[in-house]
């Protein structure tokens, strides 16, 4: 069902799914700063509203983005597909006070009960705006993986903000430790790992059928990787490992799906090796499921991660995985049982792991079956959102909190505290 564009005076317009949820529900505002087409966190944020609405939570997704950013149209389409209420907030940079004004107006007009931040700026905004609008503060720490010259500044902001948050959701154990090192109380740091909608991510075609759709030469093997083309993903190491296998006579090709600042550097590396016909930079793809289905192996070569959604998606679609032993990945992958693990940063070790899988069809089948079972039993999105719902319920359960929220509601919409 399409989303309806609803302008509200001078406030940010909202894309509302029809029919609109009741205003009497508790209101969660999911906030994020984004540029371009977004990334892994958006899969969690935009999918959350449809899982939380039956539990009595009206969820709005507010995205701050550069004015005129063409990539935001892709995010709007994702929101429409997920039937998520989406707000566009043009953001000219750190000193754009119109962002603060618009967010405060939104909190007041929609009666926000829970501010849910997803990055350093939305975390800082939540702390500041609570001075003017009473609400609970929740943040999800996805991982500080994009290291730039501004990274120390971002760390500094989060060190100031995280201790002031009521709940801090971390997608991996190491991020729980990092949040506590910022001064956050241990009982406020909650490990809730990412999840995948297993009904949505279910294989529809065989590998051979999917390969024919993508024009892959019969008998050729396909290694795939999906993610932002940035240094921490170490796609250059994956390219070198693929080059080694090709020189050994293996008939394969590598697909790199995504966009990012390393695109030109990786393209030049591929051209320098003369491997343009075997290593393909496919750019951003709005829907990667059809590409996953054509992969014989999914490779995660990252140097840093939180818990990557693409790893869970590959496993849900029964693609055997080779992954580096970073952050939350070893909690998902048991080496030799549902995937292969290796140390990050090693071309030789990555090439050996890929060769091990590519040479053994029976091993690929066993690992792909076990990977699907792992996601179904431990990483379903429905189970993850049940834990989020319980966290929200706990935050809003006290009689004092409900009385405070009732001040902001019309008499007909007020709730009665449960004793």
Is pLDDT at 332 greater than 70 in this prediction?
yes
Q: What pLDDT sits at residue 154?
A: 72
Q: How far apart are CA 127 and CA 210, in angstroms?
A: 48
Upper half-sphere CA count for residue 147 (Cβ side, 13 Å):
7
Q: What pLDDT sits at residue 147?
A: 52
Q: How far apart are CA 134 and CA 283, in angstroms?
A: 43
Which residues have C-beta within 8 Å of that of residue 289, sequence separation ≥ 6?
A: 201, 204, 313, 317
pLDDT tens by residue, 344-381? 999 999 999 999 999 999 999 999 999 999 999 999 99
Is pLDDT at 107 greater than 90 in this prediction?
yes
Average of pLDDT values for 272-300?
A: 96
Is pLDDT at 280 greater than 70 in this prediction?
yes
- Classify each residue of 15-32 as buried b or exposed e, where b means 16 or more C-beta atoms within 10 Å of its C-beta: bbbeeebeeebbbbbbbb
Using the 8-state DSSP alphabet, how is residue 393 labeled? H
Average of pLDDT values for 111-118?
A: 97
With beta carbons less than 8 A apart as the criterion, state whether 88 and 66 touch: no
Average of pLDDT values for 127-140?
A: 97
So what CATH class is 3-195+380-413? alpha beta
Q: What pLDDT sits at residue 37?
A: 85
With beta carbons less than 8 A apart as the criterion, state whether 49 and 81 touch: no
The helix or strand, by DSSP H or E, that contains position 64, with its residue range, turns out to be: strand 57-65
- How large a percentage of the chain has pLDDT more than 90? 76
Is pLDDT at 194 greater than 90 in this prediction?
yes
Is pLDDT at 200 greater than 80 in this prediction?
yes
Which residues have C-beta within 8 Å of that of residue 268, sequence separation ≥ 6?
A: none
Rg (CA), the chain: 22
28-42, 139-153, 210-224: the lowest-pLDDT one: 139-153
Q: Which residue has the higher pLDDT, 15 or 397?
A: 397
Which residues have C-beta within 8 Å of that of residue 274, sequence separation ≥ 6?
A: none
Average of pLDDT values for 278-286?
A: 94
Q: What pLDDT sits at residue 11?
A: 47
Q: What pLDDT sits at residue 380?
A: 94
**What three-state secondary structure class fits 298?**
strand
* Start-to-end C-alpha separation, the chain: 39
Is pLDDT at 298 greater than 90 in this prediction?
yes
Answer positive or negative: Cα dihedral of 17, 23, 26, 27: positive
Q: What pLDDT sits at residue 3?
A: 46
- Encoding tokens for residue 135? 């609400």
Is pLDDT at 109 greater than 90 in this prediction?
yes
Average of pLDDT values for 166-177?
A: 92
Q: What pLDDT sits at residue 142?
A: 87
Q: What pLDDT sits at residue 4?
A: 44
Q: What pLDDT sits at residue 57?
A: 96
64-73, 91-100, 264-273, 409-418: the lowest-pLDDT one: 409-418
**207-378 shares the fold of 3-195+380-413:** yes
Is pLDDT at 245 greater than 70 in this prediction?
yes
Fold of 207-378: Rossmann fold (3.40.50)
Sheet with 340-342, strands from edge to edge, namely 279-283, 252-257, 221-226, 297-300, 321-324, 340-342
Q: How far apart are CA 349 and CA 325, in angstroms?
A: 12
pLDDT tens by residue, 60-94? 999 999 999 988 999 999 999 999 999 999 999 87
What residues does each domain of the chain span? 3-195+380-413, 207-378
pTM of the predicted protein model: 0.82
Distinct helix (H) and strand (E) counts, the chain: 16, 15
Is pLDDT at 400 greater than 80 in this prediction?
no
Q: What pLDDT sits at residue 371?
A: 98
The contacts found for 213-221 with CB under 8 angstroms, 24 or more apart, are: 213/290, 213/294, 214/290, 214/291, 214/294, 216/253, 216/294, 217/251, 219/251, 220/251, 220/252, 220/253, 221/250, 221/251, 221/252, 221/253, 221/296, 221/297, 221/358
């Amino acid at each position: 069902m399409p989303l309806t564009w609803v302008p509200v005076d001078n406030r940010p317009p909202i894309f509302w799914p029809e029919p609109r949820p009741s205003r009497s529900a508790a209101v969660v505002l999911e906030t994020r700063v984004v540029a371009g087409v977004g990334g892994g966190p958006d899969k969690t944020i935009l999918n959350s509203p449809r899982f939380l609405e039956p539990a009595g939570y009206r969820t709005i997704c507010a995205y701050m983005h550069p004015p005129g950013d063409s990539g935001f149209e892709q995010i709007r389409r994702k929101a429409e597909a997920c039937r998520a209420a989406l707000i566009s907030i043009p953001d000219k940079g750190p000193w754009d006070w119109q962002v603060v004004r618009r967010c405060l107006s939104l909190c007041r007009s929609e009666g926000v009960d829970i501010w849910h931040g997803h990055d350093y700026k939305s975390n800082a905004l939540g702390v500041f705006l609570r001075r003017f609008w009473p609400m609970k503060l929740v943040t999800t720490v996805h991982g500080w993986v994009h290291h730039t010259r501004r990274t120390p500044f971002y760390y500094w902001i989060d060190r100031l903000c995280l201790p002031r948050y009521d709940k801090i959701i971390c997608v991996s154990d190491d991020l729980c430790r990092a949040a506590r090192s910022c001064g956050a109380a241990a009982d406020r740091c909650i490990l809730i790992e990412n999840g995948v909608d297993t009904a949505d991510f279910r294989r529809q075609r065989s590998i051979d059928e999917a390969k024919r759709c993508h024009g892959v030469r019969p008998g050729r093997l396909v290694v795939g990787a999906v993610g932002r083309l940035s240094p921490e993903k170490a796609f250059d190491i994956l390219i070198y490992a693929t080059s080694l296998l090709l020189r050994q006579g293996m008939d394969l090709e590598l697909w790199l799906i995504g966009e990012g600042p390393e695109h030109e550097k990786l393209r030049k590396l591929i051209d320098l090796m003369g491997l343009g016909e075997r290593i393909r930079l496919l750019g951003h793809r709005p829907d990667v499921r059809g590409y996953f289905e054509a992969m014989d192996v999914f490779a995660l070569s990252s140097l840093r991660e939180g818990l990557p959604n693409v790893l869970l998606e590959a496993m849900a679609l029964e693609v055997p995985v080779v992954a580096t032993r970073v952050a939350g990945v070893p909690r998902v992958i048991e080496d030799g049982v549902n995937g292969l693990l290796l140390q990050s940063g090693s071309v030789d070790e990555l090439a050996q792991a890929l060769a091990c899988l590519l040479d053994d069809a029976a091993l690929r089948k066993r690992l792909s079956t076990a990977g699907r079972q792992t996601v179904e039993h431990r990483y379903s999105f429905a189970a993850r959102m049940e834990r989020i719902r319980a966290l929200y319920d706990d935050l809003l359960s006290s009689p004092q909190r409900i009385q405070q929220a009732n001040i902001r509601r019309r008499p007909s919409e007020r709730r009665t505290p449960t004793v």
